[in-house]
Structure 1
Amino acid sequence: MRDPNYSSEEMEIENDTGDWTVEKLNKVKDQFLAQRSVSKAISLLEELLGTKVDDIDDEIWTDVHDLLIVIFDTIPIQIMLESHQIVLLSVINHSPDKVIDLIAYHYIEPNISKITEVIKTSALAITVALARRIPGEPCYESLARILWRFIEVKEVVKEFEEQLKNDNSQLRFRVHHVTSLALKNKPADNGEGLNLLVKAIIKEVESQDILCALSALEILCDATSDHVENAKLFQQMGLVRKIYEMMQTLKSEPEGGFLYPVCVRFFAHLSVVDPEALEKYPKFVDSVLDMVYHFDCLDAPQRALAFETLAVMSSTSSAKKIMDGYKGEYKMDKSMNHFGAACASGPVELRIRHLDALCLMMSKFSTTSDSEILNRWFNDLGEPFPELILSYLKKPFVDLRISTLNLLAVLMNFEWARKIFFHTPGFTDYLVDRNIETSADGNQLKFDIIIKIIESMSPAIEPPDMLRLKTYRHQGVYYKEHNPELAMENQ
């Protein structure tokens, strides 16, 4: 029923069955804003999307988009669901994908915390309708950010299962995207619905299509990172053993090269949440250390992967103990020796990645035992390594200096490191020299390092050196020394 407050001019526009134009859209929008109400918004929504929306020219989509925003901003979502659910359902079922994207992104997602229970129960038809639209290219990501919350609603899971029968892998992976978000956001909810959808991803891993297998492994790898619950789920489903067996064959197959690095990364993340995996799957450790030992034979991405994986899998206290006493073919002391050599060779971009990986390894500690292990590993980098660090701090490459400063900041947490560096010739002179570092971030990092060193009250620092550091701190981050000769010349 039409709102009795409509003007005759509005009625004339409503009865106009001609094509929508920019002028018509702007006129309707202006009239609507002049007398804005929920009932008018509902009527206008029905009229606008009651036409064959696909016929609206792409050139006026921006204007249609703006009008829809105004309409949806006028209708509180609770009122829409309570009193006009049929209208919203019709819009979701019959509008083009870009309209669905707008509804999901602008209208439903911002209000999702207020309506979750409603669209699980009395307005469940809305959720199922949204699930049905997940294959849409412009809208699947916006829909996924909503739908992962309903991964255990049987009607939603049933809809996804139907869509997973599609021969088009691209469309299947839009459903997998929902599962991926569920694994990341609510890993503890390992119910029947989630298990069914995870099994569908695992099935993709076994695909003969390399791209499908790679994409599926990427999803599972990301889901393992920092989520113990997912790691346990994957082990229960036999996925970990399956990937472990895949690694043994992929390494020797040229076409499996893309999959192999992802398998390595999967186990690295697994070892963070389940350090015992390092002992359960020793061939994984051997594979990584083999890459480290032969880093000079690898291409740049694999070389970076080798040391970044070593850093990740050695990050927890339990993992440090396991790796420090590893009894396999390769040894950690030699691995660290290769780590030091890698940091000193290759393109600057690659050296930066190695320094960042070493920084990660050294930054993860919580016990005295951790410190002792890291001390041994640092010494295994090679005797010249502190001099290498000092030389990098003076190089004319900002990114290299920043990565080196980040590493130095981590090392200054340890007394053994302070002792090493303050016995390295030229280290104190570098710290108090204000003419070397040119970037704002670098100056701040260096200043923070000096404060950390002062607060440590380390016995490794001689009193005259401590006085120089305190003077630097007192002068501040960006202090510049006064040059009397330059001042005389200016005068």
Structure 2
Amino acid sequence: MAASIGSLLAEISGVEDPIEELQSLKTALLSIPVSALRDSVSGQRFDVIFSLLDSNEREQVELCVDILERILMALSPVNVVQNYRVELQGGLTHPKETVKILALMQIGRVVEHPDAVTEILNNHDILRGVIHCIGEEMSVAKQAVQSLSKLSHSKPGLDKLFQSDLLNAIKDVMATSDIIRYRIYELLVEISSVSPISLGYCANSSLISQLLSELTGDDILIRATAIEMVTALAHSPHGRQHLSQQGIMDKLSNMIRGAETDPLSSLYLPGLVKFFGNLAIMESPQQVCETYPAFLDKVFEMALDPDPAMIGVALDTLGLLGSTVEGKQILQKTGKKFKAVLLRMSKHGSLGATNLRVRSLDAISQLLTLLPEQQTEDLLALTESWFQLLSNEPMDMIRNIITQPFPELHCSALRIFTAIADQPWGQKLMMSTPGFMEFILDRSTGQTKEAKDGKFQLVGTLAGSSTAAEILGSQHYLRMKTYLREGPYHVTAVATVSTEGAD
């Protein structure tokens, strides 16, 4: 096969219009497993294919890209960078998007390899080319960011990016436009999240300070984007520590307070609430809610807001907070405030746009969920009281939603029953609700795969509870065990009865 590839390359070199020959080479390469391809292409030179990239013929360029992608992936990163470094550098400035992406993908492979990365670290022009690609089309920029992020995973890579004139290249690209600047910020946040050392390099470059200054800029849209970036930075413990040292949490809390007098606050408020919601889960709900009381007050206010965008973020945040025991206790302490919000959540779950109904039902299921080890007397009383607040007849309300012809609602409502299925009070409610056990064991309801999986999970949660056999009774318990043994997609065979002599 190596001889065949060599002869195909020779044929390509000798024709003016090589489309047919390129197609034959591509077919030959695809017929060889990648694992076996290295032996077939080693020793061959593919300069002719690289040279054919310099064409205005789209089909020719795309065939060359497909061929080179196959070949280069078969070669080791060391082989690629030693033999095709000049070609990779040329690919970074090629007019075709696919050629740039090909070059960037290979550079990404090289910088991940300990024996190959030195070749790139010693080549300023390639690294400068990669940095400039961040200012190109989105697909190219994304690949460039990935390659630079991989490079930063080593100290020599960090030194090269932040302690050489490449830092000036980064700053020059940032100055191109707001969009490009935020692509660089994304790269910085990605690098900073790896380790405290990585964050130190980014902070010392002054670029993190520049990002943080955007939080209070005059452009509301830029401010909203900066909040998203800072939220991503807060995902790592050292990132949160840095933000705290810079006083960013206090600054964001003050922005929530100041939103009352800002007519454009709806553009950045959801981002602020998401920031503190994530912070509460990563740190401590109690600590965050008590240190920044404006956060929880704003969540309640947004849950009662007529704006669907505000409601949706509030619902997601309440579900996130309520998924933890500490969060449940914080919400319970607010008394009437949370009760009013819970009633509104129930209303959103029953009426309105499907998306909002799903988010409300999902938040309710998170609020009601308790792991077996969390089921103290106080917490069981808390979840039961919340469930009873949903409606005069909460069991009927949730069951009615399940029977509506909307698969998303069906599954979200099932999750509420699953949330209470391993709590003794929930099991007692199910037993005392006429026809409920028959309803959940009826395989004719909910015909989508998701619905069948949801029902199966509900039955499994019920049957797996330590109190199920006692509360539900042996008959229901055995039926559930049979249901689980048959699996989620079991179909009961229907016998056909024929009558002798019938037409």
Question: Residue 234 of structure 2 is aligned with which of 224, 227, 247?
Answer: 224
1:307 is aligned to 2:308: no
Which amino acid is the alignment partner of residue 22 of structure 1? I
- 77-86 vs 235-244, greater mean Cα deviation: 77-86
Could you tell me how far apart the structure 2 residues matched to 1:203 and 1:416 are? Answer: 52
Partner of 2:148: 147
Partner residue in 1 for 2:348: 342
Distance 1:281 1:44, change over 3 A: same
The structural deviation recorded for 1:36 is: 6.6
Distance 1:229 1:372 in 2: 38
**Once the two structures are superposed, what CA deviation does each residue of 1:200-240 show, in whole Å capped at 9, x if it has no partner?**
33233333333322222223334435x44333332222222
Name the structure 2 match of 1:379. Answer: 388
Question: Which is bigger in relative contact order (C-alpha 8 A, separation at least 6)?
Answer: 1
Q: Deviations over 1:349-408 (max 9, x none)?
A: 422221122223334656345555434433333442222112223223222211112222
Q: CA deviation at 1:71?
A: 5.0
Residue 348 of structure 1: how far off its partner (Å): 3.6
Q: Distance in 1 between matches of 2:225 and 2:326?
A: 31
Match of 1:287 in 2: 298
Query: Within 2, Cα distance between the matches of 1:222 and 1:350?
Result: 25
- Cα distance per residue 1:10-39 (max 9 Å; x no partner): 59948x9x8x76368568989999997556
Q: Is the 8 A contact 2:342 2:390 kept in 1?
A: yes
- Partner residue, 1:425: 434
Give the AA of the match of 1:313: L
Contact 1:10 1:31 in 2 (8 A): no
- Which amino acid letter does the alignment assign opposite residue 257 of structure 1? S
What letter is aligned with 1:194? Answer: C
The 1:396–1:198 alpha-carbon spacing in structure 2 relative to 1, beyond 3 Å, is same
Q: Is the 8 A contact 1:85 1:123 kept in 2?
A: no
**Are the aligned partners of 1:444 and 1:477 in contact in 2 as well (CA < 8 Å)?**
yes
Q: Using structure 1 for the length normalisation, give the TM-score.
A: 0.81
Q: Which residue number in structure 2 is paired with residue 100 of structure 1?
A: 100
Tell me if 1:22 matches 2:15.
no
Structure 2: which amino acid aligns with 1:299? D
Count of residue pairs the alignment pairs up: 471
**Residues 84-483 of structure 1 aligned to structure 2 (within 5 Å):** 85-86=85-86, 88-92=88-92, 97-105=97-105, 107-110=106-109, 112-115=111-114, 118-119=117-118, 123=122, 125=124, 126-137=126-137, 138-151=139-152, 153-157=158-162, 158-159=167-168, 161-163=170-172, 165-183=174-192, 186=194, 188-195=196-203, 196-225=206-235, 227-275=236-284, 276-292=287-303, 294-295=304-305, 298-326=306-334, 331-363=337-369, 365=371, 367-369=374-376, 371=380, 373-456=382-465, 457-458=467-468, 459-473=470-484, 476-480=487-491
- How far apart, CA to CA, are the structure 2 residues paired with 1:489 and 1:474? 35
Per-residue CA deviation, residues 71-101 of structure 1 (Å, 9 max, x unaligned), is 5346532123346645544554677654221
Residue 454 of structure 1 deviates from its aligned partner by 2.4
Q: Say whether the 8 Å CA contact 2:319–2:362 is kept in structure 1.
A: no
Is the alpha carbon distance of 1:290 and 1:90 closer, same or farther for their aligned partners in structure 2, counting shifts above 3 Å? closer
* Structure 1 unaligned spans of 5+: 1-5
Task: Please give the per-residue CA displacement for 1:169-216, whole angstroms capped at 9, x wherever unaligned.
Answer: 1221221232243355x2555532232443333233333333322222
Is the Cα–Cα contact under 8 Å of residues 352 and 403 in structure 1 kept in the other structure?
yes
1:120–1:150 contact (8 Å) kept in structure 2: no
The percentage of aligned residue pairs carrying the same residue is 19
Query: Within 5 Å, which residues of 2 pair with 1:45-56?
Result: 47-48=51-52, 53=54, 56=56
Contact 1:45-1:68 within 8 A present in 2 as well: yes
Which is further off, 395-404 or 77-86?
77-86
Shift of 1:301: 2.5
Letter in 1 for 2:349: C
Answering whether residue 59 of structure 2 is matched by residue 62 of structure 1, we say no
Change (3 A) 1:120 1:271: farther
Task: Compute the displacement of 1:260 (Å).
Answer: 1.4
Give the structure-2-normalised TM-score: 0.79
Distance 1:224-1:317 versus aligned 2 partners, 3 A rule: farther
More moved, 236-245 vs 124-133: 124-133
Q: Cα 1:471–1:319, aligned 2, differ >3 Å: closer, same or farther?
A: closer
- Partner SS state of residue 346, structure 1: coil
Residue 41 of structure 1 contacts residue 75 of structure 1 at CA under 8 Å; is this kept in 2?
Answer: no
Taking structure 1 as reference, are residues 101 and 243 closer, same or farther at Cα in structure 2, changes over 3 Å only?
Answer: same
Compute the displacement of 1:426 (Å). Answer: 2.3
Does the 8 Å CA contact 1:128/1:159 hold for their aligned counterparts? Answer: no
SS at match of 1:139: helix
Matches within 5 A, 1:7-46: 10=10, 13=13, 22=19, 40-41=44-45, 43-44=47-48
Which residue of structure 2 aligns with residue 3 of structure 1?
none
- 1:262 Cα offset (Å): 1.5
Q: Distance in 2 between matches of 1:160 and 1:317?
A: 49
Q: Tell me which moved more, 456-465 or 359-368.
A: 359-368
Deviations 1:232-290 (A, max 9, x none): 33222222222222222334433231211111112111111122211111011101112
Q: Using the alignment, how far apart are the partners of 1:482 and 1:288 within structure 2?
A: 51
Distance 1:371 1:229, change over 3 A: farther
Distance 1:279-1:221 versus aligned 2 partners, 3 A rule: same
Q: Distance in 1 between matches of 2:384 and 2:249?
A: 33
| Segment of structure 1 superposing worse, 269-278 or 244-253 | 244-253
Q: 1:194 to 1:75 in 2, by over 3 A?
A: same
d(CA) in 2 for partners of 1:74, 1:433 = 54
Q: Conserved in 1, the CA contact under 8 Å of 2:211 and 2:226? A: yes
Residues 49 and 64, structure 2, Cα contact 8 Å, conserved in 1: no
Contact residue 432 and residue 472 of structure 1 kept, 8 A: yes
Paired residues of 2:452 and 2:489 also in contact (CA < 8 A): yes
